[in-house]
A and B are shown apart, each in its own frame.
Chain A
Amino acid sequence: MTKATENLYWKQNLWIVATLLAIWFVVSYVAGIILVDWLNNIQLFGFKLGFWFAQQGSIYIFVILIFVYVAIMNRVDKTHDVHED
């Protein structure tokens, strides 16, 4: 397990985390707070879309984000041979 491999592994980790956190930020702060009034013009069944993101939708996406992270990292760990047995 060389330093070079560790660095590549770390860089990939950072890239994955940054992407997932960008989504995290968009569904909560952007869709649920900053753009909420504009999104409220769109109707999703009985919900105004902005309100839905703020009170329900963002939470579903948070759960999905974590499980996606788990799946991706398990694969990445194996690719770089840093996984646990």
Chain B
Amino acid sequence: MSVQTWTYLIVGATFALYIGIAIWSRVGSTREFYVAGSGVSPVANGMATAADWMSAASFISMAGLISFMGYDGAVYLMGWTGGYVLLALLLAPYLRKFGKYTIPDFVGDRYYSDTARLVAVVCAVFVSFTYVAGQMRGVGIVFSRFLEVDINTGVIIGMAIVFLYAVLGGMKGITYTQVAQYCVLIFAYMVPAIFISILLTGNFIPQLGFGGTLDNSSVYLLDKLDGLNQELGFAAYTDGTKSMIDVFAITAALMIGTAGLPHVIVRFFTVPKVRDARRSAGWALLFIAILYTTAPAVAAFARLNMIQTINGEDGRGTLRTEAPSWIDNWEQTGLIAWEDKNNDGRMYYAAGEQNEMTIDRDIMVLANPEIANLPAWVIALVAAGGLAAALSTAAGLLLVISSAIAHDLLKKVVMPNITEKQELLYARIAAGFAVFVAGLLGIYPPGFVAQVVAFAFGLAAASFFPAIFLGIFDKRANRAGAISGMVVGITFTAAYIVYFKFINPDANTAEHWLFGISPEGIGLIGMLLNFAVTYAVSHLTAPPPAEIQDLVDHIRVPRGAGAAQVH
């Protein structure tokens, strides 16, 4: 059977599974819709969080990026995992004890201010929409490459599936679907990785193969890769090219941004107890780490394979006519291109002038199964895995947007007298509306989606993280402080990114950057500004009222967390 038939079969089966779960988990209360009744077990919740976290970017793009960046790829590896330690130790247990449904809930209540609540709503909606645009686009791309439907049709099909289980089951439907999606995506990621690890290093554990010797030789994989990179004019694979301060700042912005993302934080409201929130963070990171420790191995294997296949054993370049079929296939999609600069009929890849190849980073994961001559069903599995990753993240984001509109904006501020049934209806309508807008963004992406996602992290780091952290750890942090801090943090970070990415992109080089920090890393400075302003203003103005200080005491202690709902 062809790849396309296998893909229809496997993807179809996974979609049927998600819809089945959606019907099983349909909800009847706002508590179930927003936080799954707080009854999800820590392991299941950890798995769901992992799927929610690992988007199309993690699944498809990350290994490819790392394979071209070498050591510098560590910004993504550490940046997108280290934040979970911050979540577990600094935020999750206290927010669970707080017991409400959303981040704007916490910000609005802790800082006794609807203005603060609204600032949080705007941030949450903006961060989530920018993030979700990338996911819907990713869904469209996977559909178009594997199922040969038009990208826009793919986006619409994805929208329909997410609409079903998000609107029917809210957070409950989304959580259990994400558990299934985690299983699909991790299986789809590991199968090719294990095969290729065996092929190249003889070790079936990719994490070990990464540090192993090449099969039938005593040369270490990484040493070989360093050597090849340098011969071709690139920096050594294990060295990278970014400055130390930039690596530091980007890693920090991503870690802290992780701990400030609404769709991640809300995942800790769905467990029964405070101690489950801590444990759930541990399970989440464990499940995430399985993919994240495999990815750099996949990256190194893929780069070695690519260089050796294109440049050949002797390093002079492989004749185009003798190139393996995966190069033919991917050339047709336009993701790999060859320009015979010296007219010798041979493909050659290097840094600088002699380079004849243009290679899209996304190929590295998607072409891996073909490079290793794996059967068609494995390729189809990778497609299903990529879709699982994109849909699971999209759903989590859409839930944040829906609850921000129905709960934080309508119920808490604009129309406080609506009944629970009405709020649930509005939440469903808002979810539908959010799916629709996300689909539009997928069909008409605001250009450079990956950069816009980095935007989301920087904003979360500079706006939410300080407000929530100080809300828990500093009783003196008050309304004036939090609002000023958030506004300063967001404005500074947004202005810096917009300037260098959109207004004056020619100036986007190290010599023009503040402290040598790129727009991807500037969230770190935004965060520091937020902290400084919040602290200063809080100490210069009146302390929070006594009942708020009592609230802080209340959330610092596990006993007395709101009961979970049985389901």
Proximity bits, B209-233, A CB within 8 Å = 1, else 0 = 0111100000011110000000000
Supplied contacts A17-B90, A34-B244, A51-B222, 5 more A-B pairs, CB within 8 Å: A32-B78, A40-B238, A55-B77, A73-B275, A77-B275
* A60: chain B residues within 8 A (beta carbon): 289, 293
B88, CB-defined interface residue at 8 Å: yes
The answer to whether A82 and B210 have CB atoms under 8 Å apart is no
B176, CB-defined interface residue at 8 Å: no
B55, CB-defined interface residue at 8 Å: no
Query: Within residues 53 to 76 of chain A, which ones have a CB less than 8 A from any CB in chain B?
Result: 54-56, 58-60, 62-63, 65-67, 69-70, 73-74
Complex Cα–Cα for A77 and B97 (A): 14
Binds A, one of B187-195, B488-496, B554-562: B554-562
B531, CB-defined interface residue at 8 Å: no
The answer to whether B558 and A66 have CB atoms under 8 Å apart is no
Q: Majority SS of interface residues in chain A?
A: helix
B518, CB-defined interface residue at 8 Å: no
B102, CB-defined interface residue at 8 Å: no
* A62: chain B residues within 8 A (beta carbon): 81-82, 84-85, 285, 289
B74, CB-defined interface residue at 8 Å: yes
Complex Cα–Cα for A40 and B556 (A): 42
**Chain B proximity of A7: nearest CB distance (Å):** 9
Query: Within residues 534 to 550 of chain B, which ones have a CB less than 8 A from any CB in chain A?
Result: none
A28 touching B275 in the complex, CB below 8 Å, given contacts A66-B88, A66-B281: no
B234, CB-defined interface residue at 8 Å: no
The answer to whether A70 and B559 have CB atoms under 8 Å apart is no
Q: Which residues of B contact A (CB under 8 A)?
A: 66, 71, 73-74, 77-78, 81-82, 84-86, 88-90, 93, 207, 210-213, 220-223, 238, 244, 247-248, 251-252, 255, 273-275, 278-279, 281-282, 285-286, 289, 292-293, 296, 553, 556-561
Taking a contact as CB atoms closer than 8 A, the residue among B73, B212, B273, B556 that contacts A45 in the complex is: B212
29 A-B residue contacts at CB 8 Å? Answer: A1-B559, A13-B556, A21-B85, A21-B89, A28-B78, A28-B255, A29-B251, A29-B252, A32-B74, A34-B244, A36-B71, A44-B211, A46-B222, A48-B238, A54-B71, A54-B78, A55-B296, A56-B296, A58-B81, A59-B77, A59-B78, A63-B285, A66-B85, A69-B278, A69-B282, A73-B278, A83-B558, A84-B273, A84-B561
* B286: chain A residues within 8 A (beta carbon): 63
The answer to whether B279 and A48 have CB atoms under 8 Å apart is no
The answer to whether A54 and B77 have CB atoms under 8 Å apart is yes
A29 touching B248 in the complex, CB below 8 Å, given contacts A56-B296, A84-B275: yes
A28 touching B296 in the complex, CB below 8 Å, given contacts A46-B220, A66-B278, A77-B275: no
Complex Cα–Cα for A62 and B78 (A): 9
Complex Cα–Cα for A23 and B93 (A): 20
The answer to whether A1 and B557 have CB atoms under 8 Å apart is yes
Complex Cα–Cα for A65 and B274 (A): 18
The answer to whether A46 and B89 have CB atoms under 8 Å apart is no
* A70: chain B residues within 8 A (beta carbon): 88, 275, 278-279, 282
> Taking each of B238, B281, B560, which has the highest tally of chain A beta carbons within 10 Å of its own beta carbon?
B238
* B71: chain A residues within 8 A (beta carbon): 36, 51, 54-55
A10, CB-defined interface residue at 8 Å: yes
Complex Cα–Cα for A53 and B48 (A): 27
**Chain B proximity of A11: nearest CB distance (Å):** 11
Complex Cα–Cα for A3 and B293 (A): 44
* B84: chain A residues within 8 A (beta carbon): 62, 66
